[in-house]
Amino acid sequence: MFRNLLKSMLVLFSTLFVLFGVVEIAVRIFAPQSGRTFVADPFIRTIHEKNVSVRQEREDVVALSKTNKQGFMGDDFVVGKEENAFRIAVIGDSFTEAFEVGTNNSFTALLEKGLNEKNGLLSYETYNFGISGAGSTHELLAYEHYAKPYNPDMVIWQIYLGNDLSDDLLLIDEVKGAESPNATEARTGYLRAFFSNNFHSPRFFLRKIEKIKAIYSLLARYNIVSRNQHFYDNQDKQNTYPFIYDIFNSGEKTIFTDNLSLTCKFAKEFKEKTFRDGIPLLVVLIPAKYQVLEEDWGKLLSKFPGMQEKTWDRLQPLMPIKECLGEQKIDYIDMYPIFEKIVKDGGERMYFVTDDHFNVFGHQLTAEALKAKISGAGSERDK
């Protein structure tokens, strides 16, 4: 009986294996999946394709970006370092990644250049671990699995107030509730990464399934597929707007009302891990352009008329984050007052017109603020 069962199982698996092979060949011939800038990662969901160069032309910028053999932006990372080296790991989302302005114009690269211009005894190195679409959970995992092995002397964690809080919401288990997410649950697994990165057919069929909203919503609800920023959008009402802007909604209860503590939870975990490892943690808070630029906020209200009927406080998400960082004794730089002063003085804008990201000026301002903050820490080692 056992023999017959074993034989049946072998026949079944052999049949499935052959069927999968036939489907894979057919997809590769008739519907090949295009090359990707990002690939699946078993720890932080996605990572860059290794050793890729990308050239973009946008507004007044020709952006030249390149990834290294580790799958991050810039030149290859090395574990060993010189005795006088002061290595800084910069962890964040697309603002740190800086595809929009290119590798050499990112605030990470500009910070390294600026710190080394002072000609001290230290030689500064900045490693860019930014990944587009990352939230606090994935950034914490990026530290554990990718940044920490390179023995940084400091970690800079970039938090973007435009969508980092909503990125954290995407991991909530709707069955268990808001208390369930933690960094380890953000892992995607080796099996998913293996199939996604080595075969065309899984990507082909998953993309087809995700176009069927009802099926996608069901799979996303139970975290079988990754949620996107439109998962919580209300598609049934007229004059609606993307839910991410409810982070500024002060007139009614929203999905953020009870869940703002998630980012604070991860900040506490981040501080505990870096403190345990003896590495100083510095947070840089990046405001959304709608918080800084009145003109852009007005355009947003015009684009989504339903927003005009509600009450907004654009600084609302900033205050609880700053309070949390203060309670955890986490050092931080708030870029909002710096940007606000420049705008009030009639200075140039620090965000693209057609994009929510920094232009080169925005990266320069952030690098200068970080340089001023970090120079003191480096001076202590110079002595």
User: What are residue 231's phi and psi, to 5 degrees?
Assistant: -60, -40
User: pLDDT at position 31, please?
Assistant: 74
Check residue 35 and give its pLDDT.
Answer: 63
Task: Answer yes or no: is 44 within a domain.
Answer: yes
Spatial separation of the C-alpha atoms in residues 248 and 57, rounded to whole Å: 32
Q: How many domains does the chain have?
A: 1
Q: What is the DSSP string of 260-319?
A: THHHHHHHHHHHHHHHHTT--EEEEEE--HHHH-HHHHHHHHHH-GGGGGS-B-TTTTHH
In whole angstroms, give the CA distance from residue 214 to residue 108: 41
Quick one: CA torsion of 41, 44, 45, 49, rounded to 10 degrees? Answer: -50
> Rounded to the nearest 5°, which phi and psi values hold at 137?
-65, -50
Q: What does each C-alpha distance from 264 to 178, 268, 290, 325 come to in angstroms?
A: 13, 6, 22, 8
Q: Which strand (E) or helix (H) includes residue 216? A: helix 213-221
> Is residue 335 included in any domain, yes or no?
yes
Single-letter code of the amino acid located at 108? T
Instruction: Look at residue 267 and tell me if it is in a domain.
Output: yes
Smallest CA-to-CA distance from 360 within 112, 77, 62 is with 62
Task: For 174-183, write each residue's pLDDT tens digit.
Answer: 545 544 445 4
In a domain, 195, yes or no: no
The whole domain housing 139 covers 33-188+226-382
Residue 347, in any domain of the structure: yes
What pLDDT sits at residue 135?
A: 83
Q: What backbone torsions phi and psi does residue 69 show, to the nearest 5 degrees?
A: -75, -10
- pLDDT the model gives residue 175: 45
Q: What are 364's two structure tokens? A: 């320069």
The answer to whether residue 171 is domain-embedded is yes
CB 89 within 8 A of CB 129: yes
**Is residue 290 assigned to a domain?**
yes
Give the mean pLDDT per block of 10 residues along the chain (383 residues). Answer: 78 81 76 75 86 83 90 95 94 95 96 88 94 87 94 97 79 52 53 74 74 71 66 65 90 80 86 96 97 96 90 91 93 97 96 93 98 73 46
pTM for the model: 0.88
Q: What is the CATH number of the domain that holds 60?
A: 3.40.50.1110
Which two tokens mark 27? Answer: 């997809």
In a domain, residue 108? The reply is yes
